[in-house]
Amino acid sequence: MQNDPHDTPTRADQGAQTHFGFQTVPESDKAGRVAEVFHSVAARYDVMNDLMSMGLHRAWKAFTIGRAQIRPGMRVLDIAGGTGDLAGAFARKAGPTGEVWLTDINDSMLRVGRDRLMDRGIVTPLAVCDAEHLPFPDAYFDRVSVAFGLRNMTHKDQALAQMRRVLKPGGKLLVLEFSQVAPALSRVYDWYSFNILPRLGKLIAHDEDSYRYLAESIRMHPDQATLVGMMQAAGLSRVQYFNLAAGVVALHEGVRLD
């Protein structure tokens, strides 16, 4: 695995504040706190995904894979790729002439993903790296994806700009993320998120606090329309989104045209 060569602060103003779930914390602390969450849950991450979404996360990822339209020989970057679900599917479609990178800022998650892919006979390059400082050349990838990772990034605008930078002209960015649920479901969804989800975390992953954070982080993430504007501000065009499960999750996609 590669280490991120960038170890300098991302903002000159070290007094800046950001959110960690519903808490306000120094920007310099957020990455470490998020890392603690995912170090804690890495071993049970896939089991919890199945329980939390009642298996729907597999359908959401399958939809994303279909929209990516990977062809043999393509170069693909999967950011915050965790346990490798998307990267594995992309690698099969890109074939032996393609190049699919699995990356994550959290080495515990990346090791789980590496082992899962190797168990399936898939060997693909890996990198521990920060999405806000991607260690790849300009205009290198045909596709960039990030699934359930953008909401944990401190400077989402900077991360989106980096994703656009490494895309080739004509390349596509796909962002799969929890989003704003339809109003008719919001009360039920809130009850489930703040009552059932932490209890599942305590029972299965032995970590109630991390899953409470995950529920809070979803509420702090930009809604569908706001994320469209952020992707456009990062220089992406033809930005659109698809609501899945009544907006519990949305897939946003945009294209680099120049």
38-60 CB burial, b ≥16 within 10 A, e <16 = bebbbebbbebbebbeeeebeeb
**8 Å CB contact between 163 and 144:** yes
What average pLDDT does this structure show over 88-102?
A: 98
Q: Residue 2: helix, strand or coil by DSSP?
A: coil
Q: Where are the beta strands (DSSP E) in 118-216?
A: 126-128, 141-147, 167-178
**Nearest alpha-carbon partner for 204 in 24, 57, 51:** 51
pLDDT above 90 covers what percent of the chain? 64
Q: Which residue has the higher pLDDT, 5 or 143?
A: 143
Q: What pLDDT, on the 0 to 100 scale, is given for residue 232?
A: 98
Q: How far apart are CA 51 and CA 122, in angstroms?
A: 26
Span 219-253, pLDDT tens digits = 889 999 999 999 999 999 999 999 999 999 999 99
Q: What pLDDT, on the 0 to 100 scale, is given for residue 204?
A: 78
- Under the phi-then-psi rule, with left for phi > 0, alpha for psi from -120 to 50, and beta for the rest, what region is 148? left
What average pLDDT does this structure show over 79-103?
A: 95
Fold of 20-182+214-255: Rossmann fold (3.40.50)
Span 34-62, pLDDT tens digits = 666 665 565 666 677 777 888 899 999 99
**Nearest alpha-carbon partner for 219 in 11, 66, 21, 55:** 21
What average pLDDT does this structure show over 101-116?
A: 91
Task: Inform me whether the pLDDT recorded for 11 exceeds 90.
Answer: no
Q: What pLDDT, on the 0 to 100 scale, is given for residue 158?
A: 97
Bridge partners, 78 (sequence order): 102, 145
Task: Inform me whether the pLDDT recorded for 207 exceeds 90.
Answer: no
Q: What pLDDT, on the 0 to 100 scale, is given for residue 208?
A: 80
Q: What pLDDT, on the 0 to 100 scale, is given for residue 135?
A: 97
- Under the phi-then-psi rule, with left for phi > 0, alpha for psi from -120 to 50, and beta for the rest, what region is 6? beta
Banded pLDDT at 198 (limits 50, 70, 90): confident
Q: What pLDDT, on the 0 to 100 scale, is given for residue 60?
A: 96
Task: Inform me whether the pLDDT recorded for 3 exceeds 50.
Answer: no
Task: Inform me whether the pLDDT recorded for 183 exceeds 90.
Answer: yes
**Nearest alpha-carbon partner for 116 in 106, 97, 96, 102:** 102
The pTM score is 0.86
Banded pLDDT at 9 (limits 50, 70, 90): very low
Q: Give the DSSP per-residue string, 25-86.
A: EEHHHHHHHHHHHHHHHGGGHHHHHHHHHTTHHHHHHHHHHHHH---TT-EEEEET-TT-HH
Q: Hey, where are the domains in the chain?
A: 20-182+214-255
